[in-house]
Amino acid sequence: MGGVLRHVRDLVLAQVDAGHRVALICDVRGTDGYNETMLELLAGDLPLGLHRVAMARAVGFGDIASARASLSVLKRLKPDIVHGHGAKGGVYARAIGALANRDARPARLYSPHGGSLHFDPQSRKGKLYFTVERLLERACETILFVADYERSVYAAKIGTPRCTTQVVHNGLTPAEFEPVVPASQAAAFLFIGEIRMLKGPDLFVDAIAALRSGGHDDVRAVMVGAGPDRAAIAERIRAQGLAGAITMHEPMPARDAFALARTVVMPSRAEAMPYIVLEALAAGMPLIATKVGGIPEIMGENNAALVEPALVPLTDAMRRSLDQPGWLGNQMVPVTTLKSRFSAAVMAESIVNAYREALTRARPAAIQRSPAGPKTNGASSVS
């Protein structure tokens, strides 16, 4: 899904370019658009293939069949590295990864990408998921976090990890630093992402309603994305009489969506290290975002463009961007700073180095015979 798949794509392509043989195990075909287009383009670049296995987001009895199907693929591949992405991919990689090759145990790594960390530790689901996370630490060489914030949340909700951890920020490719010019009839604001309440689409709709009733009666917005709450958001738009003010589009590449509006708004209630913030800034798009997750690590803790995930502060920032042209642009991170800190090449190199280090602990004798480390067979799982 979304940013997780984007991270995996960039990582996989960099690994293939470096000479590694890589496979990707992921869910069966989902919503047409951004995710499926990305997978179709990626499939031809995978030396060990793209393997589709049904993976439900929620925990259920179907996970048994999914785990068995994933293990069948892994046994054929006999990978050196099994890297699980997201909560479900992380469970599969750690729980069954060691069974992929009994003669030479794979190193197992896990990247949460938010995932289970979004749950309340006092809730029933939170208690269940965090217990599983704690148990699986012993079936893992390394946990790779995409933000310092994500690592601190893990420690607070689950406990100090009993395995090696490392923070490796998401990164962008050189082409993504080319500026995007909004279309001549671009709307004022853009929401882009998975349409579920965690991402704040309801706050976005309500903020547009507040702006139109508070003096900006001609303001228009665009929403791009799919998700479990899309129908509820469409009904919210209709109920507030905003059908002519907010246009909804199916998923599309981020840079295509950026051209539809003059300002990107990210009203999420929770995030890890969202790609869309990096992509918007790199494309030269003014951005208003909520002060959650790793976003302050990108934009700065005291950046005025960051607001609390609530209607009033979000609406106030959006109104200020309309009333004071140029104010928002002055809050943006310089492109030169982004390039030095958030590069896909740096991200991929750091992760491959983490693979090699993990492999020295999973197979110490084999690595001692080959100090430089072999080119690896890798398999990444993504929920």
Q: List pLDDT tens digits, range 154-173.
A: 999 999 999 999 999 999 99
2-171+343-382 and 175-339: identical CATH topology: yes
The domain ranges of the chain are 2-171+343-382, 175-339
Longest dimension (CA), the chain: 72
pLDDT at 382: 53
Q: What is the mean pLDDT of the chain?
A: 92
Q: List pLDDT tens digits, range 235-273.
A: 999 999 999 999 999 999 899 999 999 999 999 999 888
Q: List pLDDT tens digits, range 40-99.
A: 889 999 999 999 999 987 888 889 999 999 999 999 999 999 999 999 999 999 999 999
Instruction: Please provide the distance, in angstroms rounded to a whole number, between the alpha carbons at the two ends of the chain.
Output: 7
Count Cβ neighbours within 10 Å for each residue of 7-27 and write b for 16 or more, e otherwise.
bbbbbbbbbbeeebbbbbbbb
Select from 267, 251, 189 the least CA-distant residue to 221: 189
Q: What is the pTM of this model?
A: 0.80
Q: Helix, strand, or coil here: 226?
A: coil
Q: Where are the beta strands (DSSP E) in 75-201?
A: 81-85, 107-111, 142-145, 164-167, 187-192
Q: 370 pLDDT band (50/70/90 cuts)? A: very low
Q: Which architecture, in CATH terms, is 2-171+343-382?
A: 3-Layer(aba) Sandwich (3.40)
Q: Would you say domain 175-339 falls under CATH 3.30.420.40?
A: no
Q: List pLDDT tens digits, range 85-140.
A: 999 999 999 999 999 988 899 999 999 998 899 899 999 999 999 999 999 999 99
What residues does 383 pair with on adjacent strands?
Answer: none
Average pLDDT over residues 198-204: 97
Q: Give CA torsion, residues 288, 294, 297, 303, to 10 deg.
A: 30
